[in-house]
Amino acid sequence: MFRSVSITGFVACLATMALHFIISKPKADELFGKDRSMRILDPLRWLVLFLTLLFVEQKWNLVGALRKLVFLLALLCFVVLVVTGFVPPLILGKAISGWWLVIHATFAPVFAACVAVLAVMWADNNRFDKNYWPWLNRVLARQPQSTEMPARHEFRQKICFWVIIFLALPVILSAVLSMFPLFGTHGQELLLELHRYSTLLLALFSIVWLYLMAMTEMQKNAAS
Q: Does 89 engage in binding with ligand HEM (CB under 6 A)?
A: yes
- Note whether 198 binds ligand HEM by CB under 6 A: no
Stretch that binds ligand HEM, among 28-36, 47-55, 85-93, 154-162 (CB under 6 A): 85-93
Q: Does 95 bind ligand HEM (CB under 6 A)?
A: yes
DSSP tag of 80: H
Long-range pairs for 74-78: beta carbons < 8 A, 24 or more residues apart: 74/111, 74/114, 74/115, 74/118, 75/210, 76/107, 77/107, 77/108, 77/110, 77/111, 77/114, 78/111, 78/203, 78/206
Q: Out of 70, 81, 167, 215, which residue is the one contacting ligand HEM (CB under 6 A)?
A: 81
Residues 6 or more apart whose Cβ sits within 8 Å of residue 133: 155
Taking the complex as a whole, the smallest distance from the CB of residue 92 to ligand HEM amounts, in Å, to 10
75 contacts ligand HEM (rule: CB under 6 A)? no
Let me know if 184 is exposed, middle or buried by CB neighbors in 10 A (0-12, 13-18, 19+). Answer: exposed
Taking CB under 6 A as the criterion, the residue among 164, 172, 208, 212 binding ligand HEM is 172
218 in contact with ligand HEM (CB under 6 A):
no
C-alpha torsion 172→173→175→180, nearest 10: 140
Question: How many residues in the shown chain lie near ligand HEM by CB under 6 A?
Answer: 25
Quick check: 196 binds ligand HEM (CB under 6 A)?
Answer: yes
Site residues (vs ligand HEM, CB under 6 A): 81-82, 85-86, 88-89, 95-96, 101, 104-105, 108, 111-112, 171-172, 175-176, 178, 192, 195-196, 199, 202-203
